[in-house]
């Protein structure tokens, strides 16, 4: 009997790519994003005057330093860790090492859980959407139009947007999980297979090794005197 996970198992993603190819592309894409973020953060550390900005008293009533050195250092460490995790997933999918894919898969689960908590908080506390919009700077485009929108319609739009993001993230999680299962399954082909009959147990080698065994040479012909 097949488990429920086997029904969702597939070796293809995005209708055309193999799960290994999709995982490699996804890992490279995440690495590029985090590399760009890392370059921005390093530039902010080298020239803090240019990249540090303040929210004036006319916007929030106080002068708040949004980006300080401590926050930049923490964000830099997180970006480096993410580049390492994504690089491990890319290498693991390319070289077919299943253990290297697990950290990236755990990150995807953690990110999905955080976004789910955001959606739950919007449902439980719908007024937080309006409060968040009020905290935006006055130069934010269409701020007044968004504020004039009905609160229920605004909450529905936010939940619809978060739902689309969660669906896409869940699909990517499924692709990485299928890649992990595929790579793990490839590793088990090196194990010998036991075939059991009613009264005997036969030990068979893998199929690739069986077809690679050269045929035995025929015995020499008998020559009569």
pLDDT in tens, 35-83: 999 998 888 777 666 555 443 444 444 444 455 667 888 888 999 999 9
What is the distance between the alpha carbons of residues 96 and 108, in angstroms, rounded to a whole number? Answer: 19
Cα distances (angstroms) measured from residue 103 to each of 21, 22, 64, 183: 18, 17, 36, 15
Predicted local confidence at residue 7, as pLDDT? 54
26 vs 4, residue with greater confidence: 26
Is residue 29 one of the residues assigned to a domain? yes
Q: Which of helix, strand or coil describes residue 18?
A: strand
Is residue 213 one of the residues assigned to a domain? no
Is residue 14 one of the residues assigned to a domain? no
Is residue 216 one of the residues assigned to a domain? no
Is residue 217 one of the residues assigned to a domain? no
pTM for the predicted model, two decimal places: 0.68
Is residue 223 one of the residues assigned to a domain? no
What is the distance between the alpha carbons of residues 169 and 14, in angstroms, rounded to a whole number? Answer: 13
Average pLDDT, integer, range 130-149: 76
Is residue 134 one of the residues assigned to a domain? yes
Q: Domain total for the chain?
A: 1
Whether the CB-CB separation of 67 and 51 falls below 8 Å is answered with: yes
Residue 189: domain span? 19-58+66-199
Is residue 160 one of the residues assigned to a domain? yes
Average pLDDT, integer, range 172-201: 67
Tally of CB atoms within 10 A around 171:
11
């Amino acid at each position: 009997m097949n488990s429920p996970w086997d029904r969702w198992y597939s070796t293809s993603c995005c209708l055309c790519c193999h799960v290994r190819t999709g995982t490699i592309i996804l890992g490279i894409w995440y690495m590029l994003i985090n590399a760009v973020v890392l370059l921005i953060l390093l530039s902010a550390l080298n020239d803090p005057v240019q990249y540090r900005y303040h929210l004036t008293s006319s916007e929030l009533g106080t002068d708040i330093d949004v980006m300080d050195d401590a926050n930049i250092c923490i964000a830099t460490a997180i970006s480096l860790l993410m580049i390492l995790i994504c690089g491990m997933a890319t290498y693991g999918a390319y070289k077919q090492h299943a253990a290297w894919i697990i950290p990236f898969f755990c990150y995807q689960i953690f990110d999905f859980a955080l976004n789910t908590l955001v959606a739950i908080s919007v449902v439980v506390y719908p007024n937080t959407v309006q409060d968040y919009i009020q905290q935006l700077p006055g130069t934010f485009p269409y701020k007044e139009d968004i504020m004039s929108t009905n609160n229920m319609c605004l909450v529905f739009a936010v939940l619809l947007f978060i739902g689309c993001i969660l669906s896409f993230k869940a699909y990517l999680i499924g692709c990485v999980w299928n890649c992990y299962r595929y790579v793990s399954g490839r590793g088990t082909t090196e194990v010998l297979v036991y075939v059991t009959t009613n009264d005997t147990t036969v030990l068979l080698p893998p199929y690739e090794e069986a077809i690679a065994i050269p045929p035995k040479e025929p015995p020499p012909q008998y020559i009569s005197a």
